[in-house]
A = this chain, B = another copy of it.
Amino acid sequence: MTEFTLAFQDKTPLYDQLYRYVVARIRSGELTEGERVPSKRALAEHLGVSLTTVEKAYGLLTAEGYLEALPRSGFRVASSLAAIPAPTPRRMAVERRREALDECFSTAAVDTSVFPFSTWAKLSREAVYENPELLQRGEGQGDWPLRDALADFLHQYRGVDCTPEQVVLAAGLEGIMWILLQLLPRAVFGLEDPGYGSLRRLLDNLGREWAPVAVDDRGVAVQALEASGADVAYVTPSHQFPLGITTPAGRRSELLRWAYARPGRYLIEDDYDAEFRYASRPIPAMQGMDVGGRVLYVGTFSRTIAPSIRVAYLILPPELLEVYHNRFDHASATVSRFEQEALCRFLTSGAYGRHLRRVGNLYRRRRDALCAALSGWGEIRGAEAGLHLLFTLPGREESDLVARAAQAGYRVRGLGEYCMGPDPLPGTLALGFAGLPEERAAKAVEELKRAFEQIG
C-alpha cells in the first residue's frame, strides 16, 4: 500500500484520494480480507501528509466498513467485505437523506403551488430589466421603496406603528438576528420555553447568555421573566411557537410595563405566522401598543411567500436607530436589490395582499381537514391561528409516537423537542398542516393511528 503517491495538484482533497485509493485496492483484491494496513502515523510520515489527513481517510474507511480497528491498535481490512455495498456517489447521499420521511406534517412547510408564480416571475423580470442601476450598492438598511411599502403594509395589516426610517431589511431571520445581536451585545436573552430551538442553538454557537422563560396559558409569564434575569425577551404573542397561544391584551400590557421598568430592557416581538388567523380577526401586533419605544418587531416573507425568499424585516424603536446607524454605518444590505425591487412591486401592486387572502383560505381548509380527521381521537390545541396545531394523546410517550410515525413513513415532532424544562403536555405532537392537502389528511391520520395503536 505504501507505493501510493498522492497527486497534490489534483482537485480532490488528499484524504479523499487516500480513501478512494484504499477502496480501489480492496475491491481489486490487492488488499485482502484481514490484511493489516500501515498505522496512521507511519502512513502519514511515508506520504508526507498530515496525520489528520490519514485519520480522516481511515475514519471514513472504518465508518463505511472497509477497515476495522484492531483490539490494541492499528487497522486491518475488514473480514466481511461481501456485505459492503458499492460506494454511492457522495452527491447522491445528500439528496437521498432528505427524501427519507414524508414531511407533510412539518411545522415549517409552505405550499408554494398557490403562489402567483407568473406574476412574481414577471415582476422579477421587470425589476431586473428596468433597473440596471440596482447593481450598485444600495442603502445598508435596505432600499427605501421597499421599506416604505412595508411600513404601509405592516400598519394596515398588523397595526404596526413605524416610519420607513425604522425598517431594516436582512437576509432571512438569520440576517435579522445578526443585527439584533450586535445592537444588544451585552443583553441576556429570555427565550420562551417551549420555543424555537434554532434561537437557542444560535446563542449557544456564539457563546451568548440566555435564560429560559416559562410560558403559561396566556404566553410569557411576567413573573418568570422577572425571575429569569433576562434584559431582552424574545416573544411570539400572536401565536406562540409551538404552543399556539395568543397572548391577550392584558398580558401584553404587563410585558410592556416590564420593559419600561428598567433602561435597557426590550421585547423582541416575532410576528411569525400572524398573517394566518382562523377563529377571529387578526390581533394587532404588540408593537402598536408600545409608547415607550421598547419593542423590536420582527417578521419574514419566508412563510407567506416561499421559503427561498430570503427577506426578513426588523422594525426598530426610534431610540435604537442611532445605535443602529453607529454600528452599521458601513454595512451592506444582505438582500439582493433586484429581489427587493421585485418584492416592492409585489406589495404595492396589491398582489401580495391577494395572495395572503388566497393562501389563508387554503390553509384554513387544510386546518379544518386535519382537525376533522383528528377529532374524537385525542386533544387538539392552538389551532386558531398559524400553520400548526398541538395534538395530545394523554398517557403516551412522545418518543414512542415519533418512532412509530417514522416507521409508518411520517416525520412528526414531539412537543418535548422544543422544551428546555419539563414537557408541559406529555404525549403531544406539533403537527403542521400547511403541507398537508385536504384530500390527504384522512389517510395520513389513519396511517398514524394504525401505527400508534399497533401492539409491540
Contacts and interface: CB of A to CB of B under 8 A. Distances in A.
A332 B50 contact: no
Contacts of A327: 201, 205
B94 A112 contact: no
Given A50-B291, A161-B13, A336-B310, A174 B125 contact: no
A185 interface: yes
A346 to B, nearest CB: 13
A92 B135 CA distance: 21
A166 interface: yes
B15 A330 contact: no
Contacts of A181: 206
Given A137-B307, A308-B338, A330 B201 contact: yes
A93 to B, nearest CB: 10
Interface in A324-350: 327, 330-339
Contact of A135 (B13, B197, B308): B308
A174 B163 contact: no
B306 A333 contact: no
Interface string A65-105: 00000000000000000000000001100100000000000
Contacts of A421: none
A418 to B, nearest CB: 12
A77 to B, nearest CB: 23
Copies of this chain in its oligomeric complex: 2
Given A308-B136, A310-B332, A175 B185 contact: no
Contact of A13 (B128, B166, B302): B166
Interface in A1-50: 8, 10-16, 48-50
Interface in A94-151: 94, 108, 110, 112, 115, 117, 120-121, 124-125, 128-129, 132, 134-139, 144, 151
Contacts of A292: 49-50, 52-53
A132 B112 contact: yes
Nearest to A93: B165
A39 B125 CA distance: 55
A174 B332 contact: yes
A contact residues, range: 35 or more
6 closest Cβ pairs, A-B complex: A135-B306, A137-B307, A171-B334, A171-B171, A182-B205, A112-B135
7 contacts: A12-B163, A16-B163, A125-B128, A135-B305, A136-B307, A205-B327, A308-B338
A147 to B, nearest CB: 10
A33 B206 CA distance: 54
A318 interface: yes
Contact of A337 (B108, B137, B139, B308): B308
Contacts of A132: 112, 117
A307 B94 CA distance: 32
Given A53-B291, A308-B136, A339-B338, A206 B205 contact: no
Contacts of A161: 10-11, 13
A255 to B, nearest CB: 15
Interface of A: 8, 10-16, 48-50, 52-53, 56, 90-91, 94, 108, 110, 112, 115, 117, 120-121, 124-125, 128-129, 132, 134-139, 144, 151, 155, 161-166, 171-172, 174-175, 178, 181-182, 185-186, 197-198, 201-202, 205-207, 260, 291-293, 302, 305-310, 318-319, 327, 330-339
A184 to B, nearest CB: 10
Nearest to A159: B9
Contact of A175 (B8, B124, B175): B175
B205 A319 contact: no
Contact of A136 (B12, B112, B206): B112
Given A50-B293, A182-B206, A56 B308 contact: no
A314 to B, nearest CB: 15
A332 B307 contact: yes
Contact of A174 (B91, B155, B307, B334): B334
